Chain A
């Protein structure tokens, strides 16, 4: 006894999703054409790449003093920028929290944070190099601006997710605003903040290795110069050191989060 009439499909097709995939595929082909990326170029590219790798190894650490100086400067830039960025983000994030502050205060604060993170740190570094000259100061300022933008956004989102009931209770005891913040807001967001600051310090460490390319201090300048001199063995040494430093940074971050039970 067959069931006639409306046929039931076990897996009804999702036409929207299929359409989206088709659009994506068409776009990819189009984009490749626009950029003149042909499979042939890929192939030659791979060949070149293999030959190039041979030139990279073995890494050359002969000029380790120069390498060390650049790395230390990058580290300093990252540390100071993270510290300054955190210091500036905390009050800004509090003011930008829509659940605690009136609109005329939170809106400008949010606008400041959006502007800070809209520009790539390298572009901001170029501006600061023009403003304060070559060197680490430009790098520090550029990364501080980026930190305020990203840290501020993360912190504000965390503050806006807190339970306001706890805030209400502390307010009802007649506590001044500063105490309301330190007893009802901070405990709810502190461990997340530690995570954010660790993440941002990590990101600054990465970024500090490249702002030197535009003259804002750190190992980036040394690296750029090495590329231009075709000194690829030295390039390899620098890149390996960068990788080692960032790996160490990530391990440290995990430990710090553990101490604060983030």
Chain B
């Protein structure tokens, strides 16, 4: 089974001589949810953002669909990004646009700019958008302005937007950090459902270990810019968590 995404020797230095990522080697299968856990500042978010090059890697390779994303030029990168959906911690919706328009942002990589500006999308896209809205439970909100929604609702729109891209990979950068515990569980459940239904792998950067254990099939633990644990949720022990996060108090 070939990997959907391969990361080889990924290094990122924001300031020269101070690497945040010290050489990451990971393979991701074509299905399943992978949770990346670790303390703040350890490079989890950097890793996720290096994959679709929202942050430029200093060295290394990111191989997706048989191409090294790091080496692509702007046009090729854009076409690759169409196949990678992303969900953000602060939802990053266009607040003044309606929910429907935000959803259709997911198709912007596929529709010509002029048509996009005139809001002329293929009927198929519009039908899919309505379907997705129903699935995430926001069927009545198509015309509502994005900034009139609650946090949990906005994240659902964010997820739907990513799924609209018909992605081959979904990245989620702390999708639940701005949400209350109950909503967090709902959002993780939604990600799980959609990933299974549509068959794409999900890489989630998350700091809540319980959520990671509950919803992910694989956990990658990072500390100090390196991977220190890579395995199933069942096998992760307190010892591992101490190594990743340091200290014992928070485990009580």
List A residues at the B interface (Cβ < 8 Å): 163, 165-166, 168-176, 178-180, 182-184, 187-188, 190
Contacts and interface: CB of A to CB of B under 8 A. Distances in A.
A166 B95 contact: yes
Contacts of A165: 88, 90, 92
Contact of B94 (A174, A176, A187): A187
Greatest chain A CB density within 10 A among B52, B80, B108 is at: B108
A174 B105 contact: no
Contact of A173 (B81, B97, B101, B117): B81
Interface string B69-83: 000000001111111
Interface residue tally on B, bucketed by range: 20 to 34
Contacts, number: 86
A126 to B, nearest CB: 41
A188 B97 CA distance: 9
A173 B88 contact: no
A179 B165 contact: no
A174 B108 contact: yes
A179 B109 CA distance: 9
19 contacts: A166-B94, A169-B88, A170-B105, A171-B81, A172-B84, A172-B86, A173-B161, A173-B162, A174-B79, A174-B109, A175-B116, A176-B108, A179-B116, A183-B97, A183-B105, A183-B108, A187-B94, A187-B97, A190-B96
Contacts of B105: 169-170, 173, 175, 183
Given A182-B117, A190-B96, 14 more contacts: A163-B95, A168-B54, A168-B92, A173-B85, A174-B79, A174-B81, A174-B82, A174-B84, A174-B108, A176-B78, A176-B108, A178-B113, A179-B113, A182-B113
B106 interface: yes
Contacts of B92: 165-166, 168-169
B95 A175 contact: no
A171 B95 CA distance: 16
Contacts of A180: 108
Contacts of B93: 166, 169
Contact of B108 (A166, A168, A179, A188): A179
A168 B161 CA distance: 14
A169 B80 CA distance: 15
Contacts of B90: 165
Contacts of A178: 113, 117
Contact of B81 (A172, A184, A187, A190): A172
A91 to B, nearest CB: 15
A166 B84 CA distance: 17
Nearest to A182: B117
A108 B98 CA distance: 36
What are the 9 closest A-B residue pairs judged by CB atoms, nearest first?
A: A174-B109, A175-B108, A174-B81, A169-B92, A174-B82, A178-B113, A187-B96, A179-B108, A172-B86
Interface of B: 52, 54, 77-86, 88, 90, 92-97, 101, 105-106, 108-109, 111, 113, 116-117, 158, 161-162, 165
A175 B109 contact: yes
Given A182-B116, A183-B116, A175 B94 contact: no
B41 to A, nearest CB: 20
B94 A170 contact: yes
Given A165-B92, A166-B92, A166-B93, A172 B52 contact: yes
A165 B88 CA distance: 9
A176 B86 CA distance: 17
Contacts of A171: 54, 81
A175 B105 CA distance: 8
A158 to B, nearest CB: 13
A211 B62 CA distance: 62
B106 A173 contact: yes
A172 B113 CA distance: 16
A163 B90 CA distance: 12
Contacts of A182: 113, 116-117
A173 B113 contact: no
A173 B54 contact: no
B111 to A, nearest CB: 8
B94 A173 contact: no
B95 A172 contact: no
B102 to A, nearest CB: 9
Given A169-B93, A183-B94, A183-B105, A174 B80 contact: yes
Contacts of B108: 170, 173-176, 179-180, 183
Greatest chain B CB density within 10 A among A165, A166, A178, A184 is at: A166
Contacts of A168: 54, 88, 92
B74 to A, nearest CB: 9
Nearest to A186: B117
